[in-house]
Homo-oligomer: A and B are copies of this chain.
């Protein structure tokens, strides 16, 4: 039992540090913050961060991979369902928007420090990030084959437009260049999918 109990305690400490890191990264940014800021926020000693993680980078890598893998699984799961592509895109946009609603700090960190940070962590995780584009592209491709979507827009291209629109909206919320209106989140899902699927034309 001793082993099990301490293993659990250790896992809790690790999580404590990860959660503190989310808050610190969201508040100060990855490059601007010091490892000591994370330790302070978590209420642990500086060195303990290095007991659980090899480096400052590994903390962010862990946060990103944890969440991104959940998202990739969610997209894959959506794609197995027997619904229209439009509904699939709604579910995907919904998942991402809900991720932000549920934990804005974490999504801020993932978007700002990884997904949009193409020169630093975006580079490291390019393959993982591209995987999401490809999964969305596959949804579009199948919809083209079934006749639901037009075939003169390449699936990869459509995926970029779709994902780009979502990320831009989240970024707008994160930095207050887009108002987070009352109906907000659910309205946003609808608008994104509506824009991409039906277009702005009347």
Contact = CB atoms under 8 A, between A and B. Distances in A.
A164 B175 contact: no
A5 to B, nearest CB: 40
A194 B153 contact: yes
A126 B177 contact: yes
Interface string A95-135: 00000000000000000110011111011001001100100
Given A126-B177, A164-B168, A175-B126, A200 B196 contact: yes
A117 B31 CA distance: 11
Q: How many copies does the complex hold?
A: 2
Contacts of A192: 161
A86 B123 CA distance: 35
Interface residues of A, number: 58
Nearest to A149: B200
A197 to B, nearest CB: 5
Pick from A160, A163, A175, A192 the residue with the most CB of B within 10 Å. Answer: A160
Pick from A113, A154, A157 the residue with the most CB of B within 10 Å. Answer: A157
A195 B158 contact: yes
A112 B202 CA distance: 35
A118 B171 contact: yes
Nearest to A167: B164
Contacts of A177: 126, 129-130, 133
Contact of A116 (B118, B129, B150): B118
A179 interface: yes
B196 A179 contact: no
Contacts of A165: 160-161, 164-165, 168
Interface of A: 29-32, 86, 112-113, 116-120, 122-123, 126, 129-130, 133, 140, 143, 147-150, 152-154, 156-158, 160-161, 163-169, 171-172, 174-175, 177-179, 188, 191-192, 194-202
